[in-house]
């Protein structure tokens, strides 16, 4: 099913995510934020932005309100926005390196229909150098294995290896930051390369209210497989976010999301996938434990653009989830997420009826 097809050249606007906690020494002063949001000190001189839950800031204050570096991860789904970051006193390379596993299971009343996907992100690296202020670089490598049955008793089928490299530039503007990012990558399952252009940004209006978000476009050309009638893919995704900070240790947020993908085919009409969802939640800093709780609902639909009555997949869903992050030692942090999603679906590419999806992430990250 093309639900998990991979992306193309992109343009993007507004992204940001928040962070809390720097090193053990300044943990008591850190303020927790939310996915797709940011963190700033009183003079808005430090910001953490990103497209997923591992955005962080350095804890150092800077002179003249200069923006420090932001972390931009490439993942689509937020994990946890809190992690550890640190900045050395002088010179050199800084950043975050981590690894994680994801289990995305789908369970039906008839368990012979069960299936899912196991993903191992072997390397998640985000880097910056003091000689290149405002610039960041990254690399992401992951392997996905689809399976039938339950995760505890499964038969593996297709495998996909993903490699991505990206470079971005952070710029400061009124009470916030904006950035541009370019990504290139490959995927073994589709035998395609992909390119993305993204714009993101964040701004704090007051001490209580802040806004952030991103938008990107991707392009994926036709693969070299002979006789392949699947020509190319175009993808757009956007997610603004609004946050209200109740106090330095507690905040509320809402994030509407929309994505659109077109699969160009040689015949039979193009395939369109549209998905929207709304997520609302709260985060809480317990020092040093960082947690969040969220709920949401949405709809995902795949259809033939030449004949919209030909529906391949239509799923309406509700979900509830929680995240947590805890420092094992000074610069090493363990984080995780669990989400339960309940879906009613129909279509030519899926089973008709109700299913539920337990989604689990466990990861570790080191900052230097």
Q: Using CA atoms, how far apart are residues 81 and 337, in angstroms rounded to an integer?
A: 11
Q: Using CA atoms, how far apart are residues 1 and 157, in angstroms rounded to an integer?
A: 13
Average pLDDT of the residues in 255-278:
94
Locate 174 and state its tokens. Answer: 């009124």
Q: Using CA atoms, how far apart are residues 11 and 177, in angstroms rounded to an integer?
A: 17
Higher local confidence (pLDDT), 31 or 270: 270
> Is 2-367 in CATH node 2.40.160.40?
yes
% of the chain beyond a pLDDT of 90:
62
For β-strands 271-285 and 290-304, DSSP reports them as antiparallel
| Model pLDDT, residue 267 | 81
- Tell me: the pLDDT tens digits for 162-187? 999 999 999 998 889 999 999 999 99
- pLDDT category of residue 118 using cuts at 50, 70 and 90: very high
Q: Using CA atoms, how far apart are residues 117 and 34, in angstroms rounded to an integer?
A: 26
Q: Give 295-309 as a 3 state SS string.
A: EEEEEEEEEECCEEE
**Which residues in the chain belong to E strands, given as ranges?**
93-108, 115-129, 135-150, 153-173, 176-187, 192-204, 209-220, 230-247, 250-265, 271-285, 290-304, 307-329, 332-346, 353-367
In the DSSP assignment, the letter for residue 90 is S
| Model pLDDT, residue 173 | 86
| CA nearest neighbour of 268 among 300, 303, 234, 236 | 303
- Tell me: the pLDDT tens digits for 284-318? 999 999 999 999 999 999 999 989 899 999 999 99
| Range with the poorest average pLDDT among 218-222, 263-267, 358-362 | 263-267
- pLDDT category of residue 243 using cuts at 50, 70 and 90: very high
- pLDDT category of residue 150 using cuts at 50, 70 and 90: confident
- 9 pLDDT above the threshold of 50: no
- pLDDT category of residue 41 using cuts at 50, 70 and 90: very low
- pLDDT category of residue 229 using cuts at 50, 70 and 90: low
Q: Using CA atoms, how far apart are residues 270 and 227, in angstroms rounded to an integer?
A: 17
CA angle 90, 328, 367 (to 5 degrees): 25
Residues 6 or more apart from 266 whose CB is under 8 A from it? 229, 230, 231
- pLDDT category of residue 273 using cuts at 50, 70 and 90: very high
Average pLDDT of the residues in 54-70:
34
Higher local confidence (pLDDT), 153 or 341: 341
| Model pLDDT, residue 78 | 37
- Tell me: the pLDDT tens digits for 313-366? 999 999 999 999 999 998 999 999 999 999 999 999 999 999 999 999 999 999
For β-strands 153-173 and 115-129, DSSP reports them as unpaired
The CA dihedral of 235, 242, 58, 201, to the nearest 10 degrees, is 50
Q: What is the DSSP string of 314-352?
A: EEEEEEEEEEEEEEEETTEEEEEEEEEEEEEEESTTS-S
| Range with the poorest average pLDDT among 43-52, 225-234, 236-245, 302-311 | 43-52
Average pLDDT of the residues in 268-283:
96
Mean pLDDT of all residues belonging to the chain = 79
| Model pLDDT, residue 7 | 33
Given a contact cutoff of 8 angstroms between Cβ atoms, the answer to whether 16 and 214 are in contact is yes
| Model pLDDT, residue 121 | 96
- 62 pLDDT above the threshold of 50: no
- Tell me: the pLDDT tens digits for 181-202? 999 999 988 888 999 999 999 9
pTM of the full predicted structure?
0.76
Higher local confidence (pLDDT), 229 or 357: 357
Given a contact cutoff of 8 angstroms between Cβ atoms, the answer to whether 66 and 173 are in contact is no
* Domain boundaries defined on the chain: 2-367
Average pLDDT of the residues in 73-77:
37
């Amino acid at each position: 099913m093309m639900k998990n097809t991979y992306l193309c050249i992109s343009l993007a606007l507004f992204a940001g995510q928040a962070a809390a906690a720097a090193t053990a020494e300044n943990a008591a002063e850190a303020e927790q934020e939310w996915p797709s949001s940011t963190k700033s000190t009183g003079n808005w001189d430090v910001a953490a932005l990103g497209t997923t839950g591992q955005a962080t800031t350095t804890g150092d204050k800077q002179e003249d309100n200069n923006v420090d570096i932001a972390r931009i991860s490439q993942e689509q789904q937020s994990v946890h926005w809190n992690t550890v970051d640190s900045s050395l006193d002088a010179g050199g390379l800084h950043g975050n390196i981590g690894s994680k596993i994801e289990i995305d299971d789908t369970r039906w009343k008839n368990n012979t229909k069960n299936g899912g996907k196991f993903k191992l992100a072997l390397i998640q690296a985000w880097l910056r150098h003091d000689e290149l202020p405002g610039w960041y670089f990254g690399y992401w490598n992951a392997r996905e294995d689809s399976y039938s049955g339950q995760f505890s008793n499964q038969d593996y089928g297709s495998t996909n290896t993903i490699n991505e490299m990206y470079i971005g530039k952070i710029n400061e503007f009124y009470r916030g930051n904006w950035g541009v990012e370019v990504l290139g990558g490959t995927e073994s399952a589709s035998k395609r390369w992909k390119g993305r252009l993204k714009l993101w940004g964040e701004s704090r209006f007051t001490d209580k209210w802040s806004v952030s978000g991103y938008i990107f476009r991707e392009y994926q050309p036709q693969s070299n497989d002979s006789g392949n009638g699947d020509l190319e893919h175009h993808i757009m995704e956007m997610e603004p976010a609004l946050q209200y900070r109740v106090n330095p240790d507690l905040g509320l947020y809402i994030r509407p999301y929309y994505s659109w993908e077109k699969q160009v085919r040689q015949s039979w009409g193009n395939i369109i996938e549209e998905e929207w969802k709304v997520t609302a939640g709260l985060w809480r800093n317990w020092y040093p434990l960082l947690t969040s709780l969220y709920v949401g609902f949405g709809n995902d639909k795949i259809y033939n653009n030449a004949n919209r009555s030909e529906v391949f997949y239509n799923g309406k869903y509700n979900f509830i989830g929680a995240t947590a992050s805890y420092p094992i030692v000074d610069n090493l942090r363990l984080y995780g997420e669990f989400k339960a999603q309940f879906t009613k679906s129909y279509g030519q590419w899926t089973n008709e009826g109700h299913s539920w999806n337990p989604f689990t992430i466990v990861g570790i990250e080191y900052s230097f």
